[in-house]
Amino acid sequence: MRVFVTGGSGFVGRNLITTLVQQGVEVQALVKWETEIDILKSCGAVPIFGDINDFEVLKSGMEGCTVVFHAAAKVDDWGVLEEFQKVNIDGTQQVIAAARETGVSRLVYVSSEAVLIGGKAIINADETRLRPVKPLGPYPLTKAIAETKVIEANSPELTTVVVRPRFVWGKGDTTLLPRFVKAMRNGEFAWISGGRYLTSTCHVKNLCEGLICVAERGKGGEIYFITDGSPVEFRSFITEYARTQGVEPGTLSIPRWLAWTLAWSLERAWELLKLKGSPSITRTALSMIGSQVTVDDSKARRELGYTPVISRQEGLLEMV
């Protein structure tokens, strides 16, 4: 069996490739930067060098593949909308077109619970929860549009399925953990209203297990949440997570209303003054980690037979 993975050099992509190769699957993976070609080779994949919007490159990578795992994305809580659109929307459309052209039978899209940001509180949300008309921030907005493109592309010839993990973490995390650690070491980290709210999480190994379950048994045109199981208190989890890297989060806390006001003010200043870089806090980030976000993965367990392969405690221990 041969599969194609986009975003192969990313945190999710590297772990997915390793998991697939260990199961005897032949993997070809898209890589954008030459400096990351060796990373894919070390994971056991055949690197396909090129851009997510290069149709011919995508076609060459998908030739002979039965499944495409589309994990490539521009992930950030701030930035120029057009840059997010180019990767998250345009790139997804190119992946769909190439999959159709090469006769791929299944396309599994890695999305995010972030597509729900901008509406009511995300508490025990399942796949029937409607997305807000306009998700908050360029990343949630473009991921939501891409989700729609993927679902609409489902057909008898190409089965398309969406996977939504919440708070992907684990050894080698290159997304959230470095930001937490940097802020804590610089004394710039603060809990939002004490951090005593619940959050769902998804260890990267559990996400890989969920993606493979979806590739094998997921229903076309459907969405599946994947998590570690029951929610955990955000403050407790982040404290343990940070300690695996030898840092302490401290006890500084600011009220949510103040954090929201500050985020809104900083965003306006960045837009009006056209400042470089990113605000130290944004409404998108606050929505994702500054309040309760819990999702229900019962559908994946019921329909796919999904079961986590690693517990939170085991995941934390392997990071120490």
Q: Which amino acid is at 268?
A: R
Tell me which of 139, 197, 224, 241 is the catalytic residue. 139
Pairing relationship of beta strands 106-110 and 67-70 according to DSSP bridges:
parallel
Among this protein's residues, is 139 annotated catalytic? Answer: yes
**Residue 34: Cβ within 10 Å count:** 9
């955990």: which residue's tokens? 232
Phi-psi label, residue 13: left if phi above 0, alpha if psi -120 to 50, beta otherwise: alpha
CB 15 within 8 A of CB 204: yes
DSSP assignment of 228-292 equals SSS-EEHHHHHHHHHHTTT----S-EE-HHHHHHHHHHHHHHHHHHT-SS--SS-HHHHHHHSS-
Give the number of other CB atoms < 10 A from CB of residue 67: 24
* Residue 99, burial from CB neighbour count under 10 angstroms (0-12, 13-18, 19+): buried
DSSP 115: G
What letters, b where the CB count within 10 A reaches 16 and e where it falls short, cover 151-161? bebbeeebbbb
Residues classed as catalytic: 139
